[in-house]
Amino acid sequence: MRIDILTVLPELLEGPFSHSILKRARERNLLEVHVHQLRAYTPYKHGQVDDTQFGGGAGMVMMVEPIALAIESLQQQVSYDEIIYLTPDGERLNQQIANQLSLKNNLLLLCGHYKGVDERIRQHFITREISIGDYVLSGGELAAAVLTDAIGRLIPGVLNNETSALTDSFQDNLLAPPVYTRPAEYRGWKVPEVLLCGDPKKIDEWRHEQSVLRTQERRPDLPEA
């Protein structure tokens, strides 16, 4: 999979994909991430990419032309399955959306700033709009990093143990069960007996029960599995 990210702050995206699981995904050529500076595509002086709003009002708007030119230039090299705009008024990201997107080949992510992008970009280029939650970030970069991480780890072959994504929280709309590792007892705090019993069927049943309980307690809003 290839993910291109269009931003005025490429520096913000230098770190997140260079460690751990996403680093391995890139090393195995399962994931390519390309970050592009939007200012490189502007026809205006001094790298201008934003302007005041028509109709007045506080806050700058990202101009249509630099973004249109950038997207069209990238489209000459890559055929995108989706062009995604990260915005607080988009559909709220969840595991199901991450699963869907992890099956695509090429994604372009557009990061907004200030008051957002000129609406004509959304009408004519964007195929999907995604929010990472009901709060406002100062730009779309961290949201693009979250989305890339959520998708990247689901690409087949990225996780070492292929089943481990299947037991994550939110797969099947259930939260993950509690987990324990050595020692079996610490300060008198014991690991549940069943996990030491060696019977995989019993352990699976217990984990499922715990998942259901946790989901009912913490996330009653999730549709029942």
Name the residues that contact ligand ADE, by CB under 6 A: 86-88, 112, 131-133, 135-137, 140, 143
Write the secondary structure of 133-185 as one string of H (helix), E (strand) and C (coil). Answer: CCCCCCECHHHHHHHHHHHHCCCCCCCCCCCHHHHCCCHHHCCCCCCCCCCCE
Nearest approach in angstroms of CB 112 to ligand ADE is 6
- Locus of tokens 């988009």: 90
Residue 137, annotated as binding a ligand? yes
CB of 99 to ligand ADE, least distance (A): 19
In the bound state with ligand ADE, the residue whose beta carbon lies nearer, of 112 and 177, is 112
How far, in Å, CA of 24 to CA of 159, rounded? 9
Q: Which is nearer to ligand ADE, 38 or 137 (CB)?
A: 137
Cβ proximity to ligand ADE: between 63 and 158 the closer is 63
User: Is residue 134 annotated as involved in ligand binding?
Assistant: yes
Task: Count Cα atoms within 13 angstroms, Cβ side, for 99.
Answer: 11
| Closest CB to ligand ADE among residues 3, 174 | 3
47 labelled as ligand-binding? no
Q: Is 132 known to sit in a ligand binding site?
A: yes
CB of 176 to ligand ADE, least distance (A): 24
Q: What phi and psi values does residue 163 have, to the nearest 5 degrees?
A: -80, -15
- Are the beta carbons of 127 and 84 closer than 8 angstroms? yes
